[in-house]
C-alpha cells in the first residue's frame, strides 16, 4: 500500500521522505492516515508469504485403501506375509525385486511397479554389498507409517505360461506385530491376512538348526499356527524357511512342524529359500522362483465371503421383483 499523510504539503507518497524528517514508521501523521484507511473497512496490508518447501506425491508403499483400484480391474494376488523380526520377511521380498529387476528370476519378467522408490529404499543395504564383505544388515528394518495398517509393495509381472501380466502385492510389516500375536494374541493389526490370496509363514532357518534355539523356534511356529487358525479357521499356506545359504533345516524338523499344523487343520507347504547367498554353493535367491510360482499359479485361498450368510427368518418372502425398465 502506498504511504499517505494527513498534511497536504507532505510528499511522502512520492518521495518516501517525511516532510517533518520523521521516520515513516514513527510519524504520527502517517500512522493516523493508515489507521483511517483500515477503519474505512479496506483490507490490511498483506504480510510477506512464509516460504513452503515443495511437496511431491508420496512414493512409498501403498495403503490398503489403494489396493482395490488394482485388484478390482486386474489379475492380482495379495501375499500375506507374517513372521518375527529376525525371520527374513523383507529380505525375501527385496531379493525377489532385485532378481526380477535384472531378469534373473526364472519364469518371471518385470512389467511395472507402483512402489519403486520403496523397493529402492529398503534394498539399499543389499546394493552396498561388496565381494566377500557383506553388510551386517541387508535390508532396513521395517517401520510402519501406520500402527494398525500395513504398507504394500507392488510388482506387475509377466509370468511364463500365463496369458496376461499379474499384479503381486506384498505387505511390508514390522515383525513385532507377529511377536505381539504370538505372545499376547493381539490380532487387530493382522487383519490384512484375511484378504490375502496366499499366506507365507516366514521362519528363520538358522534358529531351526541351532540346537539351543530349535525347540523354542518350533514352539513359536506352532503357537503362531494356532493363533492364525483361531483367526482364520482352517487354511493352507507356505512355510517359508529362510537362510538356506547358511544351513539346511533337517527333514525331520520340518515334518514335525507340518504334522503339528495338520493336526490343527492347517496345511503348510515347505519352501526353503536363500534371499542372499554368501559365496557358497547356494546362490542368492535360490528357492524364490518356485515359491512365487506356487503362490501365483495355485488356486487363491478361500477368503471370507463379501456378504455374510444370515439365518432365514420365518414368514419372510419376496412377493415379486420388478427389474429395471
pLDDT tens-place string over residues 131-142: 455 444 444 544
User: Could you tell me whether strands 76-82 and 166-172 are parallel, antiparallel, or unpaired per DSSP bridges?
Assistant: parallel
Percent of the chain with pLDDT over 70: 73
- pLDDT (mean) for 246-267: 95
CA distance 257 to 268: 9
Q: Identify whether the C-beta of residue 140 lies closer than 8 Å to the C-beta of residue 125.
A: yes
Q: Identify whether the C-beta of residue 94 lies closer than 8 Å to the C-beta of residue 105.
A: no
Minimum mean pLDDT range among 17-31, 191-205, 213-227, 263-277 = 17-31
CA distance 111 to 105: 13
**DSSP 8-state secondary structure symbol assigned to residue 245:** T
* pTM of the predicted model over 0.75: no
Matching CATH number, 64-297, of 3.40.109.10, 1.10.1370.10, 3.40.50.300, 3.40.50.2300: 3.40.50.300
Neighbours of 224 (CB within 10 A): 20
Question: Residue 181 corresponds to which cell in the numbers above?
Answer: 500375536
Mean pLDDT is highest, among 121-125, 129-133, 258-262, for 258-262
Minimum mean pLDDT range among 65-69, 141-145, 213-217, 257-261 = 141-145
Q: Which helix (H) or strand (E) holds 70?
A: helix 68-71
Q: How far is CA 149 from CA 123, 146, 199, in A?
A: 22, 5, 17
- Give Cα 198 distance to the centre of its chain: 16
Q: Where in the chain is the domain with CATH 3.40.50.300?
A: 64-297
CA distance 209 to 248: 8
The residue behind cell 519352501 is: 271
Q: What are phi and psi of 49, to 5 degrees?
A: -65, 145
Paired strand residues for 152: 62, 171
Q: What are phi and psi of 170, to 5 degrees?
A: -120, 125
Q: Identify whether the C-beta of residue 152 lies closer than 8 Å to the C-beta of residue 115.
A: yes
To 10 degrees, what angle do helices 288-297 and 89-101 make?
90
7 vs 43, higher pLDDT: 7
CA-based R_g, the chain, Å: 31
* pLDDT exceeds cutoff 70 at 233: yes
CA distance 122 to 100: 16
pLDDT per residue as tens digits for the range 291-303: 999 999 876 666 6
Percent of the chain with pLDDT over 90: 53
164 vs 77, higher pLDDT: 77
What is the predicted pLDDT for the residue at 105? 95
CA distance 127 to 146: 27
What's the mean per-residue pLDDT of the chain? 81
Paired strand residues for 153: 170
pLDDT per residue as tens digits for the range 159-215: 998 888 999 999 999 999 999 999 999 999 899 999 999 999 999 999 999 999 999
What is the predicted pLDDT for the residue at 305? 47
Q: What is the length of the chain?
A: 325
Amino acid at each position: 500500500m502506498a504511504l499517505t499523510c494527513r498534511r497536504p504539503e507532505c510528499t511522502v507518497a512520492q518521495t518516501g521522505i517525511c516532510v517533518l524528517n520523521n521516520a515513516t514508521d514513527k510519524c504520527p501523521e502517517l500512522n493516523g492516515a493508515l489507521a483511517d484507511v483500515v477503519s474505512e473497512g479496506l483490507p490490511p496490508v498483506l504480510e510477506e508469504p512464509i516460504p513452503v518447501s515443495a511437496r511431491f506425491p508420496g512414493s512409498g508403499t501403498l495403503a490398503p485403501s489403494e489396493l482395490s483400484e488394482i485388484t478390482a480391474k486386474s489379475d492380482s494376488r495379495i501375499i500375506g506375509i507374517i513372521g518375527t523380526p529376525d525371520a527374513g520377511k523383507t529380505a525375501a521380498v527385496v531379493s525377489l525385486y532385485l532378481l526380477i529387476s535384472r531378469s534373473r528370476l526364472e519364469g518371471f519378467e518385470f512389467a511395472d511397479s507402483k512402489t519403486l522408490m520403496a523397493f529402492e529404499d529398503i534394498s539399499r543395504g543389499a546394493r552396498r554389498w561388496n565381494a566377500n564383505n557383506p553388510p551386517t544388515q541387508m535390508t532396513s528394518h521395517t517401520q510402519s507409517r501406520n500402527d494398525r495398517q500395513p504398507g504394500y509393495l507392488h510388482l506387475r509381472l509377466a509370468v511364463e505360461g500365463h496369458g496376461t501380466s499379474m499384479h503381486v502385492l506384498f505387505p511390508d510389516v514390522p515383525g513385532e506385530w507377529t511377536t505381539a500375536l504370538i505372545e499376547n494374541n493381539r490380532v487387530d493389526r493382522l487383519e490384512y491376512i484375511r484378504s490375502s490370496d496366499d499366506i507365507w509363514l516366514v521362519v528363520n532357518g538358522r534358529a531351526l538348526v541351532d540346537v539351543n534355539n530349535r525347540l523354542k523356534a518350533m514352539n513359536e511356529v506352532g503357537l503362531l499356527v494356532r493363533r492364525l487358525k483361531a483367526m482364520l479357521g482352517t487354511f493352507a499356506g507356505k512355510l517359508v524357511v529362510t537362510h538356506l545359504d547358511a544351513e539346511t533345516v533337517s527333514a525331520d524338523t520340518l515334518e514335525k512342524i507340518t504334522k503339528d499344523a495338520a493336526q490343527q487343520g492347517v496345511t503348510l507347504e515347505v519352501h526353503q529359500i536363500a534371499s542372499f547367498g554368501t559365496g557358497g554353493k547356494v546362490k542368492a535367491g535360490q528357492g524364490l522362483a518356485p515359491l512365487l510360482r506356487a503362490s501365483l499359479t495355485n488356486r487363491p485361498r478361500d477368503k471370507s465371503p463379501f456378504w455374510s450368510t444370515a439365518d432365514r427368518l420365518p414368514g419372510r418372502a419376496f412377493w415379486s421383483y420388478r427389474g429395471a425398465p
